[in-house]
Structure 1
Amino acid sequence: MRATPHVTTGPYAPPAPRHTTTVTSADGSRLHVEEHGREDGPTVVLAHGWTCSTAFWAPVIRRLADDHRVIAYDQRGHGRSPAPGPGGCSTTALADDLCAVLAAAGSRAVVVGHSMGGMTIMAAAGRPQVRERVAAALLCNTGGSRLLHESTVAPLRAGGLRYRVQKAVLGSDLPLGPVTPLGRKLLRYATMGPAATREQIEACARIVHACPRRVRASWARDVLAVLDLEANLADLDVPTAVIAGEKDRLTPPVHARRLVEALPNCVGLTELPGLGHMSPIEAPQTVADAVAALARDHLTQGAPSSAPSAEKELS
């Protein structure tokens, strides 16, 4: 019997959505979308990272749902969104998918991206849908370029050997198999800080191990290994906050500091002492507070007059 793709009890178990739907992206890819919280609350759109799913946002959604309308979607190939066809893993696809979800949301929103979700926001910067529908952004544990050069997952000195080892490991399509004690230790080392709890590690391990191995490898090889979104940052001119984990091995804080320097309208950098790459699970209250502050300070309710058919899709 296949293990569940997420924990089912406790604070890291996904809450039941108020509404679910399917949104179609520009190339026909179908995206699973969930809506939580207050129907009349300020809208927040959550984009998860590589190998994750909507379940990854569970503790953040729980903290936002009383006062916000929270929309989370599965990136293509992750969670309940089908894998794309050949050539379907690209930064263009990430941007297309976010724009499709924003159009379906039907109102201006704060967008939040973790890891590859942050890269999704950067990839979509400058798109008309982002300019019209995004009031502010939060980038968590992410970077715009040189991911494999600056990652410290492999315990080697910076240079060509470390780059090649990390490219081979992250781009491997070998199955992860069931979650085992060794698997938990490896995941904690690679993605989480030393203070991560057993419950947090289990929640992350279930989600990551559930990602199909070919999807995992395709995104790593076709996007993460060659990522270069530095030029897009000038177009991300909405108020944008950045969160980094001090002990993040996948996207070390050097990435966050580079983002802060390049963003036209950065409203703050938060570096979390002792925490790793999985801030929405390791520090959900900090992430939720940052989202709520952006919504309070920058979000004006009311949908744009364009794309009325998209508004109906999530209603």
Structure 2
Amino acid sequence: MSEQHPHHPINSAIHHVPQSRHTFEARMKDGAIIRIRQHGNPAGPRLFLSHGNGLAIDGYFPFWGPLRDKYEVIAFDFRNHGHNPLHTAEGHTWPNFIDDLDAVFDAVNRELGVKRAAGLFHSMSGVAAAMHAFKFGRRFDALVLYDPPIYPREGHPVRYLQQNDKDSLSSRAARRPERYKDPLDLAKQFARRFKRWVPGADELMARATLRHDRASGDWILACPREFEAQIFAFNADPGLWQKIARCPVPLKLVCGDPALEDVMPPALIGKAIAEESGLPYEAIPDTTHFLQIERPAESFRAAETFLAEHGLAADGA
């Protein structure tokens, strides 16, 4: 049965994610469950998409929704995020994220058939995808990493900024409200903080990152705040920066605007890595760390030019 998805202008308010074409589960080595959703055109090139720490891929629908006419979109949340059932705090680690990504890749090939595929990964998932490439080799045929907060090498001036930022993010995450009476309460918080997001993205992300607790009637964080804080705190391995130029998978960095007055460290990190490594790089003007939710069309065009170079763009792209 084909997926129903009316066309929508990029700047219109979107308040829900349509039902997937197909949903299935993958069980991780320690029993954690990841629910994988296939959207879009199964005859098109396959794109894997995932999210940043504490978030969920459904909240990025303004970015990936318009791709469904031409692309097969494989959307999934990392363990303990979004659609996935809660697992253990002990298993919520960077090494497991890397192994989980490989398990998801294998599960998709088993369930939907083997074909060439690219990964479009934001922030936390981008760091995990780069680490995955070095552990497992060329599983994906191309990677586009959106504003990945790769920990800077020793001696680089942005290292101090990133260290302070990740510590601040970890501290703030640990103090987040755990429950809400209504998702719109969280949506209002997002709207106050992220003023560049396209209309409707605040509500989409709120609903994507909360789950309903029938016992209390409240809406609680799908990813517990201490889990989110833990991932920010332990993103401190400079080894990836030092070797990323030798990534076994063709890789492009697409980042926020490093010239913004309120620039966040990941945008500076992307620019610095590109300057040192020569990796393909593009900054989207007037965007922050959430470029995919601020300028979705421009953010994908930056990826699609790279996909085309590797035979992974849709016909006519």
1:25-44 to 2 correspondence within 5 Å? 25-44=28-47
Q: 1:104 to 1:167 in 2, by over 3 A?
A: closer
- Matching of residue 127 in structure 1 with residue 140 in structure 2: no
Q: 1:231 to 1:212 in 2, by over 3 A?
A: farther
1:240 — aligned with what? Answer: 251
Contact 1:138 1:291 in 2 (8 A): yes
Larger RCO: 1 or 2 (CA < 8 Å, sep 6+):
1
What RMSD in Å do the two structures reach over aligned CA positions? 3.3
Query: Do the aligned partners of residues 104 and 175 (structure 1) sit closer, same or farther apart at CA in structure 2, a change above 3 Å counting?
Result: same
Q: 1:142 aligns with which of 135, 142, 148?
A: 148
CA shift in 2, pair 1:80/1:208, >3 Å: closer
Number of paired residues? 279
Tell me the CA shift for residue 209 of structure 1. 4.8
What residue in structure 2 maps to residue 89 of structure 1? 92
Equivalent residues in 2 for 1:1-150, closer than 5 Å: 10-11=13-14, 13-106=16-109, 107-128=115-136, 130-131=137-138, 133-145=139-151, 150=161
Corresponding residue for 1:254? 268
Quote the Cα distance in structure 1 between the aligned partners of 2:149 and 2:104.
22
For 1:70 and 1:64, how far apart are their aligned partners in 2?
8
Q: Secondary structure at the match of 1:127?
A: helix
Contact 2:56 2:205 in 1 (8 A): no
Q: 1:283 matched to which residue of 2? A: 295
Query: Does structure 1 residue 266 correspond to structure 2 residue 275?
Result: no
C-alpha distance in 2 between matches for 1:65 and 1:181: 27
TM-score normalised according to structure 2 size: 0.75
Q: Show CA shifts across 1:165-216 (max 9, x none).
A: 54321223542524688855643454x3x44355233333333455954834
CA drift of 1:251 comes to 4.6
Aligned to 1:204: 205
Q: Does 1:227 align with 2:235?
A: yes
Change (3 A) 1:251 1:176: farther
How far residue 163 of structure 1 moved from its aligned partner, in angstroms, is 7.2
How many Å apart are 1:83 and its aligned residue?
Answer: 2.0
Tell me the secondary structure at the aligned position of residue 42 of structure 2: coil
CA distance in 2, matches of 1:139, 1:260: 12
In structure 1, runs of 5+ residues without a counterpart are: 1-8, 152-157, 302-315
- Quote the offset at 1:68 in angstroms: 1.3
Give the 3-state SS of the residue equivalent to 2:180 in structure 1: coil
SS in 2 for 1:64: helix
Task: For 1:197 and 1:66, locate their aligned partners in 2 and report how far apart those are by CA, in whole Å.
Answer: 21
Give the 3 Å change call, closer, same or farther, for CA 280–165 of structure 1 in structure 2: closer
Counterparts in 2 of 1:127 and 1:108: CA distance versus 1, 3 Å: farther
Contact kept in structure 2, 1:136 and 1:299, CA below 8 Å = no
Q: Deviations over 1:255-307 (max 9, x none)?
A: 222332465x622222331x233222211112222333333221469xxxxxx
Could you say if the C-alpha distance between residues 87 and 214 of structure 1 is closer, same or farther in structure 2, counting changes exceeding 3 Å? farther
Distance 1:30 1:182 in 2: 28
Deviation track 1:216-241 (CA, whole Å, cap 9, x = no partner) reads 42333322112124313425342222
Percent identity, aligned pairs only, is 21
Moved more, 47-56 or 226-235: 226-235
1:298 alignment partner AA: H
- Partner Cα distance (1:268, 1:104) in 2: 30
